[in-house]
Amino acid sequence: MMDNETVQIFIEALKEEGIKMVVTLPEDPSYSLTAAIRVDPYFTDITVAGEGHGIALCAGASLGGRKCVFMTGIAGLLMGGFALAQMSSLYAIPLLITASYRGDIGDRSGIPSGTLAMFNKLAEPFLQGLRIPYRIVDQKSRLKGMIRDAHFSCRQYSSPIVLLLTGEVLWSNG
């Protein structure tokens, strides 16, 4: 699970970018972050019941100029694939997405090994197939800059951008 230091860096980065709206379907590795956001009055947090409509919701808000982020994991990206394809290829709508990189090499979170392997094999090819730009963020020292850059570039590209969180950013023991 994400440690307190990373949670604070993450929240600072969102505030510095003016990102007040956070949409998520809670998942285990980033739960400490979404829990902290939920009690912070700076944020409007929305817990969705499905990733596909969460992405559509973010896209509508983002097109309306709201600065928002969709927080999910690899399973959520896969679930939201059709929505991502539309918001990326069909409509070109800027969207910042952070995703816990479940299944990355070294993931010892305890989910079944077959699921780990599936996520590992599919995550990056999936994003490549959708032509969605992404970066892997595995160092705390780079987290704030990556959020800032991805938020800037998604609007410049008019595209979703995904930050895949792993390593010491996602797991407190690195």
Partner 1 sequence: MVKRLDCLKLLASWMDENMFSVSSLSNNAREWPSVCRQGHHFHNLNMGMCLSFALGLSLAFPKRKVMALESDGSLLVDTSSLVTLADVNPSNLIALVFDNQEYGKMGPTATSRRADLERIAHGAGVQDTATIRTMEEFNSLVKGAIDSSGLKFFVIKVERGRAPVGDYLRTDGRAMKELFLQKLISHPDYWGNEKVVTVNPK
* Residue of the chain from 46, 78, 111, 118 that contacts partner 1 (CB under 8 A): 46
CA distance 4 to 172: 9
Give the torsion sign (CA, 102, 103, 105, 111): positive
CA distance 99 to 137: 10
Residue carrying structure tokens 């409007």: 44
CA distance 24 to 116: 21
Q: Is 174 in the site for partner 1 (CB under 8 A)?
A: no
Q: Is 42 in the site for partner 1 (CB under 8 A)?
A: no
* Residue of the chain from 11, 21, 136, 165 that contacts partner 1 (CB under 8 A): 21
* Residue of the chain from 11, 14, 93, 96 that contacts partner 1 (CB under 8 A): 93
Reading the block at residue 93, the tokens are 């709508």
* Residue of the chain from 4, 40, 60, 117 that contacts partner 1 (CB under 8 A): 60
Interface residues toward partner 1, by CB under 8 A: 18, 21, 44, 46-50, 52-54, 56-67, 82-83, 86, 90-93, 145, 148, 152, 155-156
